[in-house]
Structure 1
């Protein structure tokens, strides 16, 4: 009993150390990039470092402290959840975009202000720097994969081994804190210091984290492992869902839909998306789907 408690305490300490190092590294890279007025390509490189340096750090933690690394392996576990991983992000994005365009027609958003290509947001930087759609899609997938390896794989596993309840909430909080400088300075839209925009992204991170965590759980393990801490997880479905979500919002929608880019993902489209994911989250909690 005492040995198990000490082991859990050590995992708690590791989770805290990893959290501090992750947002410290992320903040340093983002703030340095902002203050140095880096060009468009430097901003994209900084975003890659923000995502993939913590992944390398997680691997180093696993090797140094002899932690299991099976959650870094994309187990090809394909089940019916792959339908939800593809269908739901597409459906939610379509509803968010359609709702946003409807609101723009009643003067909530002026569709005749193409500020998107000013390069003041990640969307604008992607399309100005990479130009062609295919490399933009690849960039979105690479970012999605790194993000899920950090927050839905390594960090959640640390929290589960430490006996921390609702680990998906803590992973969302860490993800939000790590992205805060770019969010504050408007690189994800919304403009500098937009508090409502920050609140929207916080709840979006929380609901996405819960949804992706549910996707990672294998329903085939329920009979053998009644508690979700013991259930095997696969990162394949969360990476697919995250990639679809980012490709639609950061690659397809800004290129083919006329909307004010400075409001993209901070205006009605973002709010509608958050509300739909909120409903999904409530359904998952009420049906106790998060227990496997």
Structure 2
């Protein structure tokens, strides 16, 4: 018997498969089937919930978040998925997590702490950097990004668990009209692909200088446009913070189509050791697969 739950973080949705002892053979074909919105359960990604010891992962964390994109490709981790992952572990009774306490989870991007704050969860994604350093910040970017019907725009590459490129647009109307039905073309092309975040700054320093504010859409590597991207939200805030210079805030609100997330960053304009993402996690359904996942 293979049990699953369906959950989302700001409408970035996931199928989570219970596999504490590491028995499921999670193939790309099975991933694509589960994520299919017509023939399967429908999701932006699939997460296998497995103990680190059973998956050969870092023993500092009891549980490993085995994250896969909807096209069957593996990803380093998922910011929104991590919150749903921890909410699921808590609901199953596999961990105990009081308010304002944290648990370590293992990901392909490393071991990361997740803290519970009431109905919200915060994950520290650890170290990050602007790949092109201060020179890329000064020039507005290190790559060119082309969307259908638009000239190439500068993009800033951010290394943060997953690869990201952030592009800024002048207004919300342009953002809403943007065609993301096909993948943006990034040049030079990143060797392992990249998520592309498109943002419009909304914050007004004269109203509240300590909180930045962005509107964002995202095209995720391996999934297409999604309603939200957790690591992408953090990358977007880091890019805006870098472009903003010394007066830019460390705390950001980012509005995505699926809701609102919050980012807290530390470090210089081009690198740091900590970047935290905070937001909700919602479990919406659970059940058993009629055709159980293949057992290894």
- TM-score normalized with structure 2 length: 0.22
TM-score of the superposed pair, with normalisation by structure 1: 0.22
Structure in which a larger fraction of residues adopt strand: 2
Highest RCO, 1 vs 2 (Cα 8 Å, sep ≥ 6): 1
